[in-house]
């Protein structure tokens, strides 16, 4: 037994009240479903049922879209930007006030460590609203107009579908810019993580947001499809799997509906022989084990320069022994639960394939709880470019390690993928960072850091990682039109 | 004051209010002028009733303010843009809380009806919010990567110029003041503000808001007094990096050209008052601004770095 | 280890024929860099660990046992030093179960007083020498300073490096000074055991983490038993990221050479919260073997009382106050 054991340091659950069941948030109120059904959402670390949630049916989607349209054609559409901005400032401040409540709820519903919900997810979500609040009355300065003489105008009703890995944060990435630019929203949270979106509805009420500006409809794949395909939706924003992204792109083809898609990735985290080695190891760990690896931009491939590969891998394994896997509500937990049984099965399947392909598997020795969905942080070495675990997104705490000899080879291997969301570069040499950044076909390049997000910093991918950017000045353009007509 | 029996009885029934002392705001505290001087402030309009004795700032007060502003500049400029935006937004929250006080003071200072004063105060608060929301966007709008003809990464970014002196508008005692002050500090500069000479009281109340907000001591310093006496000292001060001459319009005994000449000694960035030729006027503060005032106290830094393996 | 042996060992580690300033420079400058932002982030991440209940009680007692209780004032007198020694032996008169500290740290001329005052206890006497805190004196002065302390019975020597020499790149000079003082420590026999040598970098003057890493490797190469952050006379003194870099250094040094070296952050550590953050860092960066007063120390004075207050709270269940701990 280690000399210094940490006793359990549980964050209290009492700060948040979870209702036994939730309706749909349409037109400023919680309403019962018309033609839908219900399903349960569970805590993936214990499989405890948290609440019953509505699965919105076709008629529900229709109601929500109509409520959004009414708000757009009515009070919201007529509101000056400065007044819109003040609503968003209110929302940002309320999120900051209720931060603890949201963090605990996010951890319960998603399975991620409380340390992450508290220190990353919730603060960034509040910051996202704060940043976009200030744009609402400054759109003419955002450089969106291009050659057009018309000031930027909203598109109308936006249908937004978000994933389960950063529920509230993804909600803020979608709703904040949409509202700042004057649109109204119908948002569907992921089926395994609806609760913080439903609590967000309360924040909208506390902020006195006009009815119908934000509508939250819960459900699964079908609900999302009905929303995206609804003719009353002017723009679709989707974050999720590449497969679903492609089907959305197909479904809007031939219409005037615009879309932004933020999809999967298989990012290369590239470590050179002159990297600041201790910080690089932290960056590798952060890159793939932060949020249990449930990150589209995760550094799921480590490309390490061959002449330092043994040393880096040795240090990495040593570092992984201090990662704490366990109860997400424990403030000392580093790696939480896998979000669902489905995801756990997928991770297990792909790691079996990895072993079968001939890669060498190593997992951090850790005791996994009995109930719930868990996976030990795992590293595959001796991975080749042609292995499936080097090409396919696992979306779990599994790292594939490959080597390279020269910067050119690193670039070639990093780019040799259908994806292009992000990349990491670890070297102390500035010119190499900038040269690599130029060569890498990825929408986000992190040098000597990883998984850093900011409302001012545009995020999005190349190739099959999707198109469009979220955040920053660039992220506004997806939500406006500068044409004389729509 | 009435001297009839009825009047005296009425006076005795009326509660005596605790009147505010109006002092300077320097380095986060409220000192009287080191010169010990004050001057009378009267309400606008024919009644001209006595409002208060405002501190009459001296050149030494101005000097101390510059020292305070310089001392905290490093910290304010190094704060994240997000943090500055949050701090400034909080100022607006507190202004909203003091609405009634601002409305009364602006009405008295400018001779406005309560309704009109209310509108002006709303505009002032909204103006502050507008500027607060610029903090984390300026670099994106005013900076960018430059496509130089060579294997170099090249980026231009705006930076605050340093300590900025400002002559607040003479007529618009709150909205004009906010419109001159907020653009200075949003980007990380620190400020020494000379209030309107005859309408300084809303500025002092704003100082009280600043003192109870999260704005670090010394970031904003507010000095009431005779514009013609104090402005030349700030214009000639070698440790002031920029000066906004808005308050030269309608100031007693003041030539803005002289101030600009004095500023040339250390090449201060000068923002001239609105107007044509040698004239100066106070603009219409109710119009939504553009980025001119913010840009007036920004420098642009351009950095190069080779790109190679 | 005499200086000749130190040099020979160093040559082996470097893999060079002659230990010159040039070869030392190449070696030190060839160490991996430290990313400033990344190191700060790692230290900050470790500081979020929440230490509760039983682990907190254990950690408080462990921290107390790792303190070098320090008085280093020009105004120190015999009675002042005796008072500090009394507190070192019985930190909390209201609870005799309170652990004793590891050592008392004083100026060299006070060693005889401390040795006498601590007679019969296991608490060590640590003396600061080599023209502490500035290090600005001739080598002869620094050696005499050290010898006097050892002859008077000091168990531990806390020396300072010559920061001027380090910052101007005279690494061989710094190496030789450390090796010479280490030699003095090894020769003493008053207590039967060699004195152990702590080498103070004054990280506040070295400024960059790269410099701290280089100083750490240089000192360990020259035979330091402990590496120490600061004199406590310059701000900033000990910080979490600087200590992090030093813990990484001792960890990697042991992997390379098999030799374990201790770490002592000193100055600016005032609260139990701070102390526990450092213990967490030791735990997760260097590991179990360093969680021991033989390998980790806190250079502190007011920290002890805050640890005692927290200890009292855990025992009684309510917050304590300044009246319930003693001044020394």
Say what the pLDDT of residue C188 is: 66
Residues 6+ apart with CB under 8 A from C321: C309
**Mean pLDDT along residues A29-58:** 97
CATH code, A319:
3.40.309.10
* More confident position, A36 or B39: B39
Side-by-side strand order, sheet with A214-216: A29-31, A24-26, A214-216, A184-188, A157-161, A235-239, A258-262, A466-467
Say what the pLDDT of residue A238 is: 98
Q: Between the CA of residue A329 and those of A9, A336, A372, C45, what are the distances in Å?
A: 8, 9, 13, 17
C1 pLDDT band, cuts 50/70/90, is: low
**How many CB atoms within 10 Å of residue A362?**
17
Does C48 sit within 8 Å of A278, measured CB to CB? Answer: no
Does A434 sit within 8 Å of B307, measured CB to CB? Answer: yes
DSSP tally for chain A: helices H, then strands E = 16, 20
Map residue B33 onto helix, strand or coil: coil
| C288 neighbourhood in chain A, CB within 8 Å | 2-4
**B150: contact with A, CB 8 A cutoff:** no
Q: Between the CA of residue A369 and those of A7, A327, A374, what are the distances in Å?
A: 16, 8, 7
Rg of the Cα atoms in chain B? 21
Say what the pLDDT of residue B13 is: 77
Say what the pLDDT of residue A390 is: 97
Burial class (CB in 10 A: 0-12, 13-18, 19+), B274: middle
**How many CB atoms within 10 Å of residue A157?**
27
Q: In this predicted model, what pLDDT tens digit does every residue of B167-203 receive, in sequence order?
A: 999 999 999 999 999 999 999 999 999 999 999 999 9
- Listed range (A136-150, B24-38, C245-259) with the worst mean pLDDT: A136-150
Neighbouring chains to C with at least 3 Cβ pairs closer than 8 Å: A
Give the Cα separation of B70 and B221 in Å (integer): 11
Q: In this predicted model, what pLDDT tens digit does every residue of B41-71 receive, in sequence order?
A: 999 988 899 999 999 999 999 999 999 999 9
C187 pLDDT band, cuts 50/70/90, is: confident
Structural fold of domain B21-306? Aldehyde Dehydrogenase; Chain A, domain 1 (3.40.605)
Q: In this predicted model, what pLDDT tens digit does every residue of A447-467 receive, in sequence order?
A: 999 999 999 999 999 999 999
Residue A47: give the domain boundaries: 21-263+464-481
Is the N-terminal amide bond of A111 cis, ω within 30° of 0? no
Q: Given the structure tokens 């749909």, which residue do they identify? A: A24
Mean pLDDT, chain A, rounded, equals 96
**Mean pLDDT along residues C180-203:** 88
Which of B129, B139, B307 faces A435 most closely, judged by CB atoms?
B307
Say what the pLDDT of residue B215 is: 98
Residues 6+ apart with CB under 8 A from A254: none
Does A127 sit within 8 Å of B132, measured CB to CB? Answer: no
Give the Cα separation of A106 and A333 in Å (integer): 15
| A409 is a catalytic site residue | no
Which of C41, C53, C291 faces A7 most closely, judged by CB atoms?
C53
> Which amino acids of C are annotated catalytic?
158, 228, 264
Does A277 sit within 8 Å of C55, measured CB to CB? Answer: no
Structural contact between residues B33 and B61, judged by C-beta atoms closer than 8 angstroms: yes
Label residue A10 left, alpha or beta by phi (over 0 means left) and psi (-120 to 50 means alpha). beta
Could you tell me if A303 and A223 lie in one domain? no
Give the Cα separation of A440 and A273 in Å (integer): 19
User: CA A308, A314, A318, A321: dihedral to nearest 10 degrees?
Assistant: 120
Secondary structure element (H or E) that encloses residue B86, with its range: helix B81-97
Secondary structure element (H or E) that encloses residue A203, with its range: helix A195-206
Does A430 sit within 8 Å of B133, measured CB to CB? Answer: no
Secondary structure element (H or E) that encloses residue A369, with its range: none
Say what the pLDDT of residue B6 is: 56
**Mean pLDDT along residues A133-158:** 89
Q: In this predicted model, what pLDDT tens digit does every residue of C46-104 receive, in sequence order?
A: 999 999 989 999 999 999 999 999 999 999 999 999 999 999 999 999 999 999 999 99
Say what the pLDDT of residue A486 is: 43
pLDDT over 90 (residue B239) = yes
| A138 neighbourhood in chain B, CB within 8 Å | 130, 133-134, 137
Relative to beta strand A235-239, strand A157-161 is parallel
Tell me if A223 is assigned to some domain.
Answer: yes
The ranges assigned to domains in chain B are 21-306
CA C12 from centroid of its chain's CA atoms: 27
Chain B interface, mutation test: which of A434, A436, A440, A476, most B Cβ atoms within 10 Å? A434
Q: In this predicted model, what pLDDT tens digit does every residue of B145-175 receive, in sequence order?
A: 999 999 999 999 999 999 999 999 999 999 9
Could you tell me if A323 and A239 lie in one domain? no
Say what the pLDDT of residue B221 is: 98
Tell me if A9 is assigned to some domain.
Answer: no
Rg of the Cα atoms in chain C? 19
Q: Given the structure tokens 């230490």, which residue do they identify? A: C51
Q: In this predicted model, what pLDDT tens digit does every residue of A116-136 receive, in sequence order?
A: 999 999 999 999 999 999 999
- Share above pLDDT 90 across residues of chain B, in percent, rounded to a whole number: 93
**C53: contact with A, CB 8 A cutoff:** yes
Say what the pLDDT of residue A155 is: 97
Query: Strands, E, within chain B: which ranges?
Result: 38-42, 50-55, 144-145, 152-160, 163-167, 190-194, 220-223, 242-244, 269-271, 298-306
Does B308 sit within 8 Å of A82, measured CB to CB? Answer: no
How many domains are there within chain A? 2
- From B156's Cα to the closest Cα of chain A, the distance in A is 16
- Share above pLDDT 70 across residues of chain B, in percent, rounded to a whole number: 96
Q: In this predicted model, what pLDDT tens digit does every residue of C271-314 receive, in sequence order?
A: 999 999 999 999 999 999 999 999 999 999 999 999 999 999 99
Mean pLDDT, chain C, rounded, equals 96
Structure tokens at A468: 């469009």
> What share of residues in chain C are helix, strand, coil (percent, to 5)?
50, 10, 35
Could you tell me if A243 and A289 lie in one domain? no
Tell me if A75 is assigned to some domain.
Answer: yes
In C66-109, which residue ranges form alpha helices assigned H by DSSP? 78-89
Which of B126, B137, B307 faces A438 most closely, judged by CB atoms?
B307
Say what the pLDDT of residue A453 is: 97
| A262 is a catalytic site residue | yes
Instruction: Report CA torsion sign: A259, A264, A269, A270.
Output: negative
Could you tell me if A216 and A81 lie in one domain? yes
Residues recorded for chain C: 328
User: CA A410, A412, A414, A416: dihedral to nearest 10 degrees?
Assistant: -160
User: CA C134, C137, C141, C143: dihedral to nearest 10 degrees?
Assistant: 60
**Mean pLDDT along residues A277-299:** 97
**Mean pLDDT along residues B70-87:** 98
* More confident position, B232 or B9: B232
pLDDT over 70 (residue B92) = yes
- From A288's Cα to the closest Cα of chain B, the distance in A is 26
A146 pLDDT band, cuts 50/70/90, is: low
Question: What domains sit in chain C, N to C, each tagged with a CATH number?
Answer: 3-324 (3.20.20.70)
**Mean pLDDT along residues A307-321:** 98
CATH code, A253:
3.40.605.10
Does A6 sit within 8 Å of C51, measured CB to CB? Answer: yes
Task: Give the CA count within 13 Å in the CB-facing half-sphere of B248.
Answer: 26
pLDDT over 90 (residue C214) = yes
Q: In this predicted model, what pLDDT tens digit does every residue of C218-268 receive, in sequence order?
A: 999 999 999 999 999 999 999 999 999 999 999 999 999 999 999 999 999
**B89: contact with A, CB 8 A cutoff:** yes
């Amino acid at each position: 037994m280690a000399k210094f054991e940490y006793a359990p340091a549980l964050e209290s659950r009492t700060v948040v009240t979870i209702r036994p069941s939730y309706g749909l948030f349409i037109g400023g109120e919680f309403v019962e479903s018309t033609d839908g059904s219900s399903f349960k959402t569970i805590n993936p670390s214990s499989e405890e049922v948290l609440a019953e949630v509505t699965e919105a049916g076709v008629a529900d989607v229709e109601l929500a879209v109509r409520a959004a349209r009414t708000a757009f054609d009515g009070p919201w559409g007529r509101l000056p930007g400065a007044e819109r901005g003040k609503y968003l400032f209110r929302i940002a401040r309320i999120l900051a006030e209720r931060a603890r409540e949201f963090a605990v709820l996010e951890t319960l519903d998603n399975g991620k460590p409380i340390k992450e919900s508290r220190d990353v997810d919730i603060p960034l979500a509040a910051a996202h609203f704060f940043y976009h609040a200030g744009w609402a009355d400054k759109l003419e300065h955002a450089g969106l107009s291009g050659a057009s003489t018309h000031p930027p105008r909203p598109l109308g009703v936006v249908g937004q579908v978000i994933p389960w890995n950063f529920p509230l944060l993804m909600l803020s990435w979608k709703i904040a810019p949409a509202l700042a630019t004057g649109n109204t929203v119908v948002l569907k949270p992921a089926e395994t993580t609806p609760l913080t979106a439903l609590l967000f509805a309360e924040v909208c009420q506390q902020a006195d947001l006009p009815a119908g500006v934000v509508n939250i409809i819960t459900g699964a794949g079908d609900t999302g499809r009905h929303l995206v395909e609804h003719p009353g939706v002017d723009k679709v924003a989707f974050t999720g799997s590449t497969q679903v992204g492609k089907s959305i792109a197909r479904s809007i083809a031939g219409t005037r509906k615009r879309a932004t898609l933020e999809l999967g990735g298989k990012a290369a985290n590239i470590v050179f022989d002159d990297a600041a080695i201790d910080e690089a190891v932290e960056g590798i760990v952060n890159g793939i084990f932060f949020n249990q690896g449930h990150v589209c931009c995760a550094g799921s491939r480590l490309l390490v320069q061959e002449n330092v590969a043994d040393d880096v891998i040795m240090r990495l394994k040593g570092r992984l022994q201090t990662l704490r896997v366990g109860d997400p509500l424990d403030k000392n937990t580093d790696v939480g639960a896998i979000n669902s049984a489905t995801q756990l099965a997928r991770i297990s399947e792909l790691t079996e394939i990895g072993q079968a392909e001939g890669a060498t598997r190593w997992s951090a020795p850790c005791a996994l709880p009995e109930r719930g969905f868990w996976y030990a942080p795992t590293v595959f070495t001796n991975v080749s470019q042609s292995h499936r675990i080097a090409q396919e997104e696992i979306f779990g705490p599994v790292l594939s390690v490959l080597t390279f000899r020269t910067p050119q080879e690193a670039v070639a291997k990093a780019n040799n993928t259908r994806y292009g969301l992000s990349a990491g570069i670890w070297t102390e040499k500035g010119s190499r960072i900038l040269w690599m950044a130029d060569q890498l076909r990825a929408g986000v390049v992190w040098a000597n850091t990883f998984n850093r997000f900011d409302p001012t910093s545009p995020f999005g991918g190349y190739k099959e990682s999707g198109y469009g950017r979220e955040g920053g000045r660039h992220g506004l353009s997806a939500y406006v039109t500068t044409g004389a007509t729509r | 004051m009435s001297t009839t029996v009825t009047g005296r009885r009425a006076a005795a029934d009326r509660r005596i209010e605790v009147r505010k002392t109006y002092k300077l705001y320097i380095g986060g505290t409220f000192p009287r002028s080191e010169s010990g001087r004050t001057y009378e402030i009267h309400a606008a309009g024919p009644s001209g009733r006595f409002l208060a004795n405002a501190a009459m700032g001296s050149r030494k007060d101005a000097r101390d303010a510059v020292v305070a502003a310089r001392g905290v500049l490093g910290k304010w400029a190094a704060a994240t843009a997000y943090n500055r935006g949050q701090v400034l937004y909080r100022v607006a929250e507190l202004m909203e809380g003091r609405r009634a006080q601002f409305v009364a003071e602006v009405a008295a200072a400018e001779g406005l009806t309560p309704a009109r004063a209310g509108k002006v105060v709303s505009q002032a608060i909204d103006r502050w919010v507008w500027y607060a929301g610029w903090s984390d966007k300026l670099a994106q709008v005013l900076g960018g990567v430059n496509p130089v003809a060579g294997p170099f990464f090249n980026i231009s970014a705006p930076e605050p110029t340093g300590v900025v002196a400002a002559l607040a508008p003479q007529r618009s005692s709150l909205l004009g003041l906010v419109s001159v002050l907020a653009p200075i500090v949003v980007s990380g500069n620190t400020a020494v503000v000379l209030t309107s000479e005859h309408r300084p009281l809303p500025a002092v109340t704003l100082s009280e808001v600043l003192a109870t907000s999260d704005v670090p001591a010394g970031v904003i310093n507010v000095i009431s007094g005779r514009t013609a006496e104090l402005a030349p000292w700030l214009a000639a001060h070698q440790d002031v990096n920029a000066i906004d001459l808005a308050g030269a319009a309608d100031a007693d005994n003041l030539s803005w050209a002289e101030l600009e000449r004095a500023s040339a000694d250390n090449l201060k960035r000068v923002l001239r008052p609105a107007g044509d030729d040698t004239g100066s006027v106070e603009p219409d503060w109710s119009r939504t601004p553009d980025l001119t005032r913010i840009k007036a106290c920004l420098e642009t830094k351009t950095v190069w770095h080779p790109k190679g393996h | 280890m005499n200086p000749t042996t130190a040099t020979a060992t160093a040559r082996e580690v470097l893999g060079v024929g002659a230990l010159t300033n040039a070869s030392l420079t190449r070696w030190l400058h060839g160490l991996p860099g430290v990313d400033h932002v990344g190191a700060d982030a790692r230290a900050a991440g470790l500081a979020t660990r929440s230490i509760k209940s039983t682990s907190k009680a254990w950690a408080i007692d462990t921290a107390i046992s790792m303190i070098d209780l320090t008085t280093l004032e020009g105004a120190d007198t015999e009675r002042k030093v005796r008072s500090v020694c009394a507190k070192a032996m019985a930190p909390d008169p209201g609870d005799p179960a309170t652990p004793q500290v590891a050592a008392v740290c004083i100026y060299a001329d006070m060693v005889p007083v401390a040795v006498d005052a601590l007679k019969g206890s296991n608490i060590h006497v640590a003396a600061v020498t080599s023209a502490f805190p500035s290090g600005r004196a001739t080598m002869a002065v620094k050696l005499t300073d050290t010898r006097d302390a050892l002859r008077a019975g000091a168990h531990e020597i806390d020396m300072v490096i010559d920061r001027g020499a380090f910052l101007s790149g005279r690494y061989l000079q710094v190496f030789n000074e450390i090796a010479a003082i280490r030699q003095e420590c090894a020769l003493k026999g008053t207590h039967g055991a060699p004195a152990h040598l702590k080498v103070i970098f004054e990280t506040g003057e070295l400024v960059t983490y790269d410099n701290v890493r280089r100083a750490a490797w240089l000192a360990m190469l020259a035979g330091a038993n402990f590496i120490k952050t600061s004199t406590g006379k310059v701000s900033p003194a000990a910080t979490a990221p600087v200590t992090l870099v030093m813990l990484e250094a001792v960890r990697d040094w042991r992997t390379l050479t098999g030799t374990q070296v201790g770490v002592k952050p000193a100055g600016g550590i005032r609260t139990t919260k701070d102390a526990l953050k450092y213990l967490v860092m030791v735990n997760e960066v260097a590991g179990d073997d360093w969680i021991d007063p033989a390998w980790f120390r806190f250079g502190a004075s007011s920290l002890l009382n805050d640890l005692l207050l927290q200890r009292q709270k855990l025992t009684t269940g309510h917050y304590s106050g300044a009246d319930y701990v003693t001044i020394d």
